[in-house]
Structures are given as C-alpha cells and as structure tokens.
Structure 1
Amino acid sequence: MLSADDALARLKQGNQDFVNHIADSDTLAGLGASAELIQQQQPFAVILGCSDSRVPAEIVFNQGLGDLFVIRVAGNIVAPSLTGSIEYAAEMFGTRLVVVLGHTQCGAVKATVDQLQQPTELQSPNLRSIVDQVRPAVDALLDTELRHDHSALAAAAVRANVEKSVDQLRHSSAVLENLIETDGLKIVGAEYSVETGAVDFFSE
C-alpha cells in the first residue's frame, strides 16, 4: 500500500495529466474488470467529494477502477455514516490518504450563503440538514468584509467548508485519530476548479 505522501503525489500527477489531456491505458477505459479486482480492492486514497456531476474523482485524478475509494455527498460534508465509510477503508484496506475535495461553484455552499443572507422557509428539511452542516464554515465569514461581495464570500466559503470537514475527520473519530498518530494516515483538503480542471491541495 502507498504511503500518504506517495498517494498524494500520484493524485497530483494524475490531475496534471487530466488537465493536460494525457490519457493512460491503465485508467478507466483501459483497465476493465480484471480478475484481481474481482477478488479484492486496494484503493490508495479515499476521496470525500461533492455529488456535483462535474467533479467525478476518478476522472479528474486520472485513475482507474479500484484505485480510489470515493464517497460523494452534496457539499462534501461529514456525517457519521460517511466517517464510518472512511474508517472502513482505512482499516480494511490500509489506505493512508484521505482527501476532502471541494470545488468552485458548489451548489450546497451557495445555498448556504443564500440562506444565511436571505433566509427562506422553502427548503425541505433534508436540504436544510445539508445547509446546517455547511453553515458553521460560512458563519464566521459573515463577520468579515466578504459579506459585501457575494461571489468572494461563496468562494471563500468553499475552502472554509473543506477545512471544517478536514478538521472534523481529524478530531471526531477515535479510529482516524489513532491512525494519524500511529500509522501515517493523512487527511488533507483540496479544491477542484470547475473552470480549469486543476486541483489545489491547500490543506496538507
């Protein structure tokens, strides 16, 4: 199994290849359902990403079947079931890198910013539960000058939300905390640019 640092380097190279339109025969199109994959999986990284259709992790990191353990939820929020999925991958497969992947133009973050600046009762309870998870990352920003610039506020909120999720994973799971302290697990934050295709790892 790759170390966290080696896994991170592989993701960075894969994203660079994606940006440069460099295809790899071992990625999605070329790998297929091999006999090895039928028997087992050994993903080298866990990606907690957003459900947005423009950000499929395997594609933006130029990886193949079995390479990534991907969890997608609107706003890349952290909830007990999602934390449990990450714990499972870290313990069962020995995966030592977890990436929380946000992205520009995130609808969940925008909905939260809109709700905080112009509250409405029209949201369903289910959507509101996502907004409530994102809200702590946005609240502090509303006390800054960003509150006067909606676009800048939303952009900053995307990163703040990623950082919040990273912090939650690092400190709300005894399993993950132990693996960080004793076995080289790393949890990092990143932002995918819908505009350029590039991933910025800003919380390593």
Structure 2
Amino acid sequence: MTDALTPAQAWQRMQEGNARFVAGNPNHPHQDVERRHEIAGAQRPTAALFGCSDSRLAAEIIFDMGLGDLFVVRNAGQVTGESIMGSLEYAVDVLEVPLIVVLGHDSCGAVGAAIDSLHPDAPLLAPAIWRQVSPIVPAARRARQEQIERGDDASEIDAWRVGQLHLRDTITAVLHSSELISDAVASGRLGLVGANYRLAEGTAVPDVTLGVAGDTATD
C-alpha cells in the first residue's frame, strides 16, 4: 500500500511519472500479480484525478502509475456535478487522498462544442450533450471577449484559452461546491492542482496549484 504522502510529495510523484512517460521510459509500476493481490482488500491511492473522458487521456498511463495508485473520476470536459463531487469527497474523506488533480487537455471535443455553440448558425445538440457542454460556455464567452478587447479577430476563438479558463472555473467550482474539500485544502491536508495535458507532447502542465509547494494561478 502507499505510505502517507504530503500533497507536495504526491504531486511530485505524479510529475516524475509524467516525465518518464514523456521521455518514453515508463516504469509501469504496480501492474503485476503481486500488486493485484496486495490491494485486493483495501485501497490507498496517491491522488484523486478528475479529468476528461477523452480516450487519449488514460490517467494511469500518462502518469506512469498502476493499480491502486489513482482514484479516477472522468466525464466529457471534466464538468462538475453531484456524482463528481460525491466521488471526490469520498476520495478525500474516506480514502484520505492528499491530492486532487483536475486535468484538462488540448483539442477537447467538449470545449470545441462549447465554442461552436456561440455561432449564430450552430446546430442544435442533443439535450444530454448540451447539458454536459453548457458549463464550458461561460469560459468560451470570456475568451472571445478577451480577444475582442485586445483587438484580435474573434471569429475564431482560442480553444486552448477556453480550456484554460474552464479548468480554472472547475477548480473554483470544486472548492465552492464542497466545504469538506475546501476545508481540507485550507488546513494543509489536501492539495489541489489544475493541469492541462498536451496530447502530442504527453506533458501535464500545471496551471493552478493550491496547497502544494509554489502555489500558482497563472494568467
């Protein structure tokens, strides 16, 4: 089982795994019969990861981890909701993870759908898809407004910027939706990292870090 880690140690372990993956030298840890038997009775994951369901975003692979290492919660566009928050609170309260990572990525279909929805002639989405995508629309509107204020052409909205703003909105939503999580971050027991994954490079680039060394929130 995983020894108790601080939030900074947990994030460092994930960064080291991602660096191995990017370099093409993964260790493939905790993927054998012994590990399967070891964790059959209980789990103590290094971190909880809330990310997009995109098939190119397999969490244990890109962070070079294995069975029992990550408590993974995913949906299209990493959009918060009741089941997401219940799962994250379970990870914090019951499994006692020291870290939550919220992971967005480039070329996200949900982000693209949110951007497309701003066009006057945008086709109607199926109701369930629209409910999933609609929380990303405010980020798309803000990104478009930023481009207008800079005097840039806003006919093509910067999808990377939309994803970045949505990631930050998601971090805010997680903290505002859960007193348990926000209190754990405030106490120093839990870290919260928002990172963007670059599909071609394989890198998970931190954008917001709370409760780990070098807290940041970049523009």
What is the TM-score when the length of structure 1 is the normalising length? 0.93
Partner of residue 77, structure 1: 79
CA drift of 1:118 comes to 3.9
Percent identical: 32
**Aligned CA distance change for structure 1 residues 147 and 78 (closer, same or farther; 3 Å):** farther
Partner of residue 159, structure 1: 164
Q: How does 1:137-176 map to 2 (within 5 A)?
A: 137-145=139-147, 148=154, 150=156, 153-176=158-181
Residue number among 93, 97, 111 corresponding to 1:109 in the alignment: 111
CA contact (8 A) 1:147 1:153 kept: no
Q: How does 1:50-199 map to 2 (within 5 A)?
A: 50-145=52-147, 148=154, 150=156, 153-199=158-204
The CA distance in 1 between the partners of 2:155 and 2:89, in whole Å, is 38
Partner of residue 26, structure 1: 29
CA contact (8 A) 1:27 1:62 kept: no
CA contact (8 A) 1:31 1:64 kept: no
Q: After superposing the two structures, state which structure 1 stretch, 72-81 or 19-28, moved more.
A: 19-28
Partner of residue 2, structure 1: 5
What is the TM-score when the length of structure 2 is the normalising length? 0.87
Q: Aligned-residue CA RMSD in angstroms?
A: 1.7
**Aligned CA distance change for structure 1 residues 26 and 128 (closer, same or farther; 3 Å):** same
The CA distance in 2 between the partners of 1:52 and 1:8, in whole Å, is 22
| 1:13-62 Cα distance to aligned partner (Å, 9 max, x none) | 0000001111315243x366522211000011111010100010000000
The CA distance in 1 between the partners of 2:119 and 2:43, in whole Å, is 45
CA contact (8 A) 2:29 2:66 kept: yes
Gap regions ≥5 residues in structure 1: none
Report the AA paired with residue 42 of structure 2. Answer: Q
CA contact (8 A) 1:45 1:97 kept: yes
Gap regions ≥5 residues in structure 2: 210-219
Residue number among 44, 48, 51 corresponding to 2:50 in the alignment: 48
CA drift of 1:8 comes to 0.4
